[in-house]
Structure formats: structure tokens, C-alpha cells
Amino acid sequence: MTVGGMTNLSVTIIGGGIGGLALAHGLRRAGVRVGVYERTHERTDWLQGYRIHISPAGAHALHDCLPPPNWQEFLAAATSGGGFGFLTDRATALLAFDESEINRPGAPETDRHYGIGRIPLRAALLSGLDDSLRLGKTFIRYESADDRVTAHFADGTTATADVLIGADGANSAVRAQLLPHAHRVDTGVLTIAGRNPHAAALAPVLSARANIVIPRSRGSLFTAVESGQAIWGYSDAATRFPIDVTGYDGPALRTLVRSRIGSWSPAFHALIQESDPATINAFNVKSASPVTPWPTTRVTLLGDAIHNMTPMAGIGANTALRDAALLTRELTAAATPIAALHRYEAAMLDYGFQAVRRSLRNARQSATSSYLGRAAFRSTLRATAAIPPIRHAMARALGR
């Protein structure tokens, strides 16, 4: 068949994450031959991660890529979220939005905000891809010759196609070969995250919606609810911790967080103390450094492989989905792969690194700002809550 003037187009996708799987669906729907190569051995191996916010932009992209049954599976697993709030360390609201403010009543399915766990989202993305998915394939390198790209894997096998897409995450091996100068940098923020399996037993403000806690002094706390569990992440400047705590076990990290929120509301102490220690971990937050345009070849990158960002804006997954939808459109419309990838890269680098900068700003503002900076931000939130037009505009803009 012919796709956008290209006959029998074939694409190799390295990585079976959110963006790579969405791209695979989009291209398959357009008649493109696709192979997805994922290093994990079983469909159930990829169980890490927590709740994902899908914005209207992400929902549009997901809907454009997925076959109708997969879209319905996504809707069945997703929730509307129940609202979003900014709290003080005393668990009082600085600014809170209810569900009707965030999602306009009667809005189309593709113009709504959703919350979904990584595991059910990936399940919806995996459905129907058995004949395209190759598990246990660790990418090593690629070679380009005669307008074809060959991927080499650790088990000695290869895959050859017209185009190769690196969707292999923040530590992308495809990026390391294509753009060896592109690196991730340490943001200076350290996050300790965990899960409390008893969300219903927590204070209502923590069991009904997502929140960001902006205390008077140091650090910040994110909370959300997913499948009856409360998830949380405490962030602060890494330099404010006495030593490197990334090697601490769950009980030690739980004790450490409680010691750092000593004067906070008992509601937050209950959230942390009753968390399963096996789910608590610490990590240094990293972000992609800026990348300038490069000469377009038949190899390109998608999602975290190129514009990895902090989780503090809730837009990483949505940006990867936007990549997948855009790349699908370009590859199925252009006369040549090079023309398609050039147009994709020009647009993706623009909006992708805008998102990187925004998430980095949020990370530094919420976790490392000064006492005066926090006071100003808290005052701004209170003022926004009192001015309906500004409040409504902010509600609509969340996560976009």
C-alpha cells in the first residue's frame, strides 16, 4: 500500500512505554508495518510508577492514536480525578478546584482531564499489539545503509526498517548514539515517594482529590488517590538533606520524611506513617538539557528519550502522547521519511522543551524556593481563589 506517497513503509520502535505503544497503534491504523522492541521479558514486568494525569491535549492525542476498543478500555480504567488543590502544611486550602471546575460538565471525552495508573494505562496500550510486540529485546546499536536502518539487539538478533524511533525512555540508548552530546542534568531536587494502601481512612482532603502542599518553610508534598491507594511524593533541595539518602530502605525513608514535616498537620503524618515501606523510595530528580536541531536522518526520538522532564508539572506523559500523534500524522502524510521526520523534529523540539522548562520551573518553585518566595506564591494562590475569572482560567489550564 501507499502511505503519504511512501510505499510499504516500515517502522521499528525501540521501547514499549506510553509514547512508543501509542505510536505503534497510530501507525498500524494507517497501514504502516510496525515492530515494537521492548527489553522486558514479560508483559507484566513493567509495573513501576504511579498515577498519570492525562490532560485534554493528551486525551486528544491518545484518542487519535488508539483503535476504538483501546480507547474504551482507557476510559473504563481512568477516573475524572475528583478535583485538585493547593494546601498549607496545616491541611487548609490555599486554592482548591472541584471536579466541575476542571472538567466542564458535558465536555467531550477528548476535552477532559483524567487520572489513571501507569499499569492500567499500559494494559490498554498493549491490547491488540501481540503481533507487533517483541519482548526481551535489549537494544545495543543501529546501522544505516541504503535508506534502511538496522537495529541490533543483545541476543544477536536484528530488525531492519525504513525508520527507527527511539522511544526507550530517559536513559535512551538510541539517543546516546544519535545525539551523544544530549544529556540529562540533576535539578538539585530530591524526591521521596510512596503509597498508602488505606486511602479511605485518611482525612477527606487527602482521600478525595490530588493536592500539592506548599508549607511555610522547606519542601513540598504531592498527594493523589489511585485505585483506593494514596500516593505521595515529598520533594526538597538535595542539599537540605544531611547525606545521600537514595540508598535508605523504606522504613528509614518513612521516618526521615516524618522528621521533616514535624510541625505539619497530623493528616500528613498519617499518610506517611501508614504507607507500605516496600513502596517507598528516594531519587534525584533529573531533566533533559536543551537540544538544538540536528541533521534529520531516518532515526529520531520520542518522549522521555529526547525531552525527559521532572514530574512537577504533570505533563511528561501528555507530551509523549503528543509526540506519538504528531509523528503518526507526519509519517502518514509526507512524501518521504526524511520530510516527515524533519517536520516532526522541528515542532517536537519546540513544544517539548517548552514543557521541560515549565516542569523545571515548577520543581524549583515548589521544592527549593525561599521563605519569601513561598510567601508570595501562597498569597498569589489565595488571591486567585478570590477572583473568579482568574480562578476559572487556572482550572482550565491545569496540566496543559
Measured over the CA atoms of residue 333, residue 339, residue 340 and residue 344, the dihedral's sign is negative
Q: What is the mean pLDDT of residues 50-59?
A: 88
Q: What is the mean pLDDT of residues 342-364?
A: 94
Whether pLDDT at 93 is above 80? yes
274 and 201 Cβ atoms separated by less than 8 Å: yes
Q: What is the mean pLDDT of residues 169-184?
A: 96
For 185-233, the pLDDT digits (tens) are 999 999 999 999 999 999 999 998 899 999 988 899 999 988 888 999 9
307 and 345 Cβ atoms separated by less than 8 Å: no
**Phi first, then psi: what are they for 116, rounded to 5°?**
-155, 145
Task: Look up the CATH architecture of domain 187-286+372-397.
Answer: 2-Layer Sandwich (3.30)
CA neighbor of 331 nearest in space, from 23, 16, 44: 23
Label residue 50 by pLDDT band (50, 70, 90). low
Q: Which helix (H) or strand (E) holds 364?
A: helix 337-368
Label residue 400 by pLDDT band (50, 70, 90). low
Q: What is the mean pLDDT of residues 84-105?
A: 91
Label residue 102 by pLDDT band (50, 70, 90). confident
Label residue 49 by pLDDT band (50, 70, 90). low
Q: Alpha helices, DSSP H only, in 53-149?
A: 56-65, 68-77, 99-102, 118-126
Q: Give the residue extent of every domain in the chain.
A: 2-81+109-184+288-364, 187-286+372-397
292: which residues sit within 8 A by CB, 6+ positions away? 349
Q: What is the mean pLDDT of residues 61-76?
A: 97
327 and 302 Cβ atoms separated by less than 8 Å: yes
Label residue 372 by pLDDT band (50, 70, 90). confident
CA neighbor of 66 nearest in space, from 331, 325, 400, 327: 325
| Rounded Cα distance, 280 and 243, in Å | 18
Whether pLDDT at 399 is above 70? no
Q: What is the pLDDT of residue 394?
A: 86
Whether pLDDT at 19 is above 60? yes
| Rounded Cα distance, 398 and 95, in Å | 13
Task: Indicate the pTM of the whole model.
Answer: 0.91
On average, the pLDDT of the chain sits at 91
Whether pLDDT at 285 is above 90? yes
Whether pLDDT at 46 is above 50? no
**Phi first, then psi: what are they for 314, rounded to 5°?**
65, 30
Cell of 396: 482550565
Q: What percent of the chain has pLDDT over 90?
A: 73
Report how far apart, in Å, the C-alpha atoms of 54 and of each of 74, 110, 117, 198 are: 11, 10, 10, 24
CATH superfamily of 2-81+109-184+288-364: FAD/NAD(P)-binding domain (3.50.50.60)
Whether pLDDT at 27 is above 80? yes
Cell of 16: 514499549
- 263-298 burial by CB neighbour count: b if 16+ within 10 A, else e? ebbebbebbbeebeeeebebeebbbbeebeeeebbb
| Rounded Cα distance, 214 and 94, in Å | 9
For 120-175, the pLDDT digits (tens) are 999 999 999 999 999 999 999 999 999 999 999 999 999 999 999 999 999 999 99
Least confident of 44-53, 58-67, 103-112, 150-159: 44-53
Amino acid letter, 14: I
